[in-house]
């Protein structure tokens, strides 16, 4: 009738056994593993009641600062490298010939307008002008006419349109369609490195861990075409001092690009070919 005596060593199996009849086998697998690793963590560090309580308070603060524009739990996962790990596992086994993926991040909005080739997405926002051009290719080397290049980035003040009442409602984001030769090109302004939101519990955590909250300057892309795996990635600007210490572990050496001097055209330029995997 009563349970057998619980100890710090037997409780893990007791909890895992309790959910042995979970109807969904995948849920059972995930939860039994989670219970195991959480308990192992607590035993390994000999977590005290005061520390456990601090953890509860941290999660509570993260929950209370989270709303439809601020997602502290994603930020927590990002800064602990968990988001990047899930992303890396998801893309395991992809050919080295395809473009590497990078984190989607919290600032993507679907439904950005499709603009004509060569359009400027900066709507007059102050900044150094930049041209971006390249091709969308299949991993077999052929071009992909009609591929869609969805782009979004922060303004030089480090804020995305959704974070900044001084920007137009849709700013520094658009979709472009590759031409018959798989080519795309558009105009924008140079991105800057910026801190992730750090006025909340995750910011406090980073500070207490001796870490800065900065991401290196980057421009986000989702590149898609029928018959190909959709590519979520970003281009990072060479020379940025945070390239080796991206607060969310998103930067990848293969995605670092140099500005080319194209001043004859009135601006620097980035040239990059996105290579998609055949589905």
Q: Is 253 helix (H, G, I), strand (E, B) or coil?
A: helix
Rounded to the nearest 10 degrees, the angle between the axes of helix 25-45 and helix 11-18 is 160
Interface residue with its own copies, options 220, 249, 269, 276 (CB under 8 A): 249
The dihedral region occupied by 76, where left means phi > 0, alpha psi between -120 and 50, and beta the remainder, is alpha
Q: What angle do CA 203, 248, 201 make, to 5 degrees?
A: 20
Cβ nearer to its own copies, comparing 44 with 169: 44
* Cα dihedral 13, 15, 21, 22 in deg (nearest 10): -120
Could you tell me the smallest distance in angstroms from the CB atom of residue 169 to its own copies? 25
CA angle 277-278-279, nearest 5°? Answer: 110
Of these, 25, 48, 105, 184, which contacts its own copies (CB under 8 A)? 48
Residue 96 binds to its own copies (criterion: CB under 8 A): no
Q: Name the token pair of 22.
A: 């979970």
Q: Are strands 256-257 and 231-237 parallel, antiparallel or unpaired?
A: parallel
Residue 69 is a binding residue for its own copies (CB under 8 A): no
Work out which of 177, 256, 268, 279 binds its own copies, going by CB under 8 A. Answer: 256
Is residue 75 a contact partner of residue 105, using CB atoms and an 8 Å limit?
no
Q: Are 144 and 170 in contact (CB under 8 A)?
A: no
Query: Is position 157 an interface residue for its own copies (rule: CB under 8 A)?
Result: no
Question: Could you say which DSSP state residue 279 is in?
Answer: -
Kindly tell me which of 22 and 143 has the beta carbon lying closer to its own copies: 22
Give the binding range for its own copies (CB under 8 A) out of 38-46, 134-142, 172-180, 266-274. Answer: 38-46
Number of H helices, E strands in the chain: 6, 11
Is residue 146 part of the contact set for its own copies (CB under 8 A)?
Answer: no
Scanning 20-28, 116-124, 136-144, 271-279 for contacts with its own copies by CB under 8 A, the matching segment is 20-28
List the one residue out of 221, 220, 214 whose CA is nearest residue 248.
214
Q: Which of 25, 49, 111, 141 binds its own copies (CB under 8 A)?
A: 49
Q: Cβ closer to its own copies: 183 or 259?
A: 259
User: Does 34 participate in binding its own copies (rule CB under 8 A)?
Assistant: yes
Does residue number 204 form part of the binding site for its own copies (CB under 8 A)? Answer: no
In this complex, which beta carbon is closest to its own copies, that of residue 49 or of residue 266?
Answer: 49
Kindly indicate which of the ranges 120-128, 130-138, 175-183, 236-244 contains the residues binding its own copies, using the contact rule CB under 8 A. 236-244
Q: How far is the CB of 231 from its own copies (least distance, A)?
A: 14
Residue 92 engages its own copies in binding (rule: CB under 8 A): yes
């Amino acid at each position: 009738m009563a349970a057998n005596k619980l100890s710090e060593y037997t409780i893990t199996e007791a909890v895992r056994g309790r959910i042995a009849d979970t109807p969904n086998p995948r849920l059972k697998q995930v939860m039994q593993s989670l219970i195991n690793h959480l308990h192992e963590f607590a035993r390994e560090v000999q977590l005290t009641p005061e520390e456990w309580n601090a953890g509860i308070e941290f999660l509570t603060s993260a929950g209370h600062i989270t709303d439809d524009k601020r997602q502290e739990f994603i930020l927590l996962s990002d800064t602990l490298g968990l988001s990047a790990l899930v992303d890396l596992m998801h893309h395991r086994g992809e050919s080295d010939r395809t473009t590497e993926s990078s984190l989607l991040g919290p600032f993507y909005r679907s439904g950005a307008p499709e603009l004509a080739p060569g359009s400027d997405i900066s709507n007059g926002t102050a900044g150094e002008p930049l041209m971006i051009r390249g091709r969308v290719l299949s991993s077999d080397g052929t071009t992909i006419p009609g591929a869609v290049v969805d782009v979004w980035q922060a303004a030089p003040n480090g804020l995305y349109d959704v974070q900044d009442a001084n920007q137009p409602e849709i700013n520094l984001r658009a979709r472009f369609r590759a031409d018959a030769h798989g080519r795309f090109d558009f105009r924008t302004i140079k991105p800057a490195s910026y801190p992730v939101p750090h006025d909340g519990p995750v910011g406090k955590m980073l500070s207490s861990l001796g870490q800065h909250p900065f991401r290196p300057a980057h421009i986000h892309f989702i590149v898609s075409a029928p018959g190909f795996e959709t590519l979520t990635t970003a281009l990072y600007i060479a020379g940025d001092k945070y390239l080796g210490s991206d607060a969310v572990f998103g930067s990848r050496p293969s995605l670092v690009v140099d500005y080319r001097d194209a001043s004859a055209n009135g601006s620097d330029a980035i040239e990059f070919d996105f290579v998609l995997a055949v589905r």
